Chain A
Amino acid sequence: MESLIGQGRTAIELICDPDSFAEGSVGAKTFADPDFGPGAVVGTAKLDGKPVTVIANDADAFNEKFPVVYAGVIGMEEGYKMAQAVYATIAADADAPKENKRAIVLIVDTPGNGPGKVEEIFGMNKATGAYQLALAEARYTGHPIVAMVIGRAISGAFLCHGLQADQILSLDSDFGTMIHVMPLTSISRIVKKDMETLEKLAESNPVFAAGPRFFSRLGGVEEIVTNIDDMRATIIRHVGEVRAAKLAGKEDTLGPWGRGALGAERGGRVVRPEVLKLVADEFAAVSGKYLPGAALEGAA
């Protein structure tokens, strides 16, 4: 079976309108330095005739300045570069009406964030955090964001590049796609339970198992794409659906919050809504005490 692992650029070609991808250019922003964040591919393309910002990983790039950044790892430069691409997108359509805010397509194939000493000294966490905030801002500004998992979507790197999208699609595991925090073998070692037991448990409870199907059952992936040739059409359809939802003011059906509801709907995360309701109810019962002007009570 074919696979797109490590082929972010090929995926861009497969998804976008032919020869439409202009790498390094997003709105008014150009990324001229080829050595800056080489693991992140950003640019503008056309999708179904409309401009989209594309953000992908380059598994062949090696960041000379930060040796732990290679094979699609998102390092500090990569994270901030991706964030810059998002801010440039927001700026480009700042005056455009909601229906014309361009979509952002995230092509996901990343094994992790930069795991180095220099990264920790300077704060790798800020780079990935910055990118996520930028995506969330774009999402609330009205840009439809669709993520397409074509290869590896691993733990923190997936949080950073993928999980802030309005909707997430994934090629099926036949294509070698991996979505997980840790492979089941590692989880087995850490939680000290044998593989057989875990695999059996995973059938009824997908909460720790690896792979797009399990994520889908948890509402973590909106749709599984079973054919590489279907990616483009599926993304176009989802961009349309997301845009329609935003225009209808149904933002809460999208993004991480929307996927929460989807998880419950698909029977994967059923405790979450109960707990959310419990918290809301318990606060509602006492909220009056915390309103402006409420009598300031002393010790209970």
Chain B
Amino acid sequence: MKTQRTWDTLAADTAERMAAADKFIGKGKRVEAKDVVGLLEAVIRPGDRVNIEGNNQKQADFLAECLLKVDKSKVHDLHMVQSAVPLAAHLDLFEQGIAKKLDFAFGGPQAGRVAKFIREGKLELGAIHTYLELFGRYFLDLTPKVSLICAYEADREGNLYTGFNTEDTPVIVEATKFRQGIVIAQVNKIVDKLPRIDIPSGWIDAVVESPKPFFIEPLFTRDPALITDNQILLAMLALKGIYAEYSVSSMNHGIGFLTSAIELMLPTYGEELKLKGKCCTHMILNPHPTMIPAIEEGWVDTIHCFGGELGMEKYVAARPDVFFIGPDGTLRSNRAFAQTAGHYAVDMFIGGTLQIDPYGNSSTATANRVAGFGGAPNMGCDPKGRRHSTEAWLKCGQELPSMYEQIGQMQRGKRLVVQGVETFGEGREPAFVEELDALKLAKNAGLELPPVMIYGDDVTHIITEEGIAYLSRCGSMETRMAAIRAVAGYTEIGLKAKPEETRRLRDAKIVMTPEDLGVDRDRASRDLLAAKSMKDLVTWSGGLYEPPARFRNW
């Protein structure tokens, strides 16, 4: 006999919870700020998977604070599944026993506490993911039961406007709502009419106007005044030895000063190398203020963004040919789509790191911080599923001497994954090390896997002030290691380089020094920057860019 089974337990469970919450929810799904703690106690059960939206730009900070205030006898041992844990409240949840397990992608300022809590047994770590990986698991085995999300505005019916910083909202809501979960939104303001509807009210269960606007930080703003001569040298090497060499048209730039320098040198050194129209035409990145001069000079066809950047609202809105703009005239960012493009579609990822080991594995992990890498590993890898070809991708693949060992006579391209570092960082800490601190961290925090940001086999180029190691041209691990040593300068790793071996690598164009590339070191000065200050960026933007107060010296 066939057993009777109910097929709507999830919906029924949700309905039961919503009934308990009914007294807090008014017209248009509106909840008063004072009732939010009660609401959360009504809809969240011990052990639930809960998502608090928060990433680089947008934080459901009020809801996080409210979750911290729930009665622990009612709500405890939650399994948090969320992109990032940058707020103190995110970790306080674990300290107080409200949350127990964490699956995430990026730790930010709380990375030290994550490590400490794991060690102390306060936090059970599921895994450190990439964004796309975590988003994937939202639709697989980590679907949130309750999501606490964040938007700019809601209307009287509960429709949401996520605006300039849409970021993760669509993916969270889609996963939660279509698995019969509960979605609660905090908004800065409830208005009569939204500029556009980003999330329909039917997907939302409750909306609260938070007492103050959500916390937002200009994470992608780099003050050109802080760019050093050595970063400019590295940028020159990158432009001449990689951008020009491979005609890289599409890419993602990391957020460090090296890529800021590159962006600011497109209209100067890049122009000189005649790269305009050839390189940097299609970009996946947040609206970096340092991109303004290149955009103004007509370098860029398209930029799609993970999220917005404080102060860039007006500028972006005024450049709809370049950015993705809604019918309302403001930017539409979306992390899931930008990461998809970053993973599959772009030809190159270029960014910095903290440490590189003799095999080329690199990581920004330090011994006592569980930070995660966000989207870097997805962009900083060779996407094996890619099937369209471009000049840069093909050329990089053709160079790889070991391709035959893998696929015989078949043609295939390879993503360029470029790591740029000075051989010594702050306080003369070497960037090239025998063993990554990630291994120490794995031990200290009891991780199953050392957090490697980019694995050695994915890295195609390493740039230092000594030159470029073209790892894409190395046929064996032995050659790869020798090439890394050759650009590792005076670090212990670099000192192991043998002059005659380096000579051979240079002859084979596997290692290229500035001189080999025809890069004049003596020109590596700030004179090459199209903008030298925040003020210059504002001028370039025709006054449209409005830097946040802490970046303004006027």
Q: Do chains A and B touch in the complex (CB under 8 A)?
A: no
On B, residues with C-beta under 8 Å from A are: none
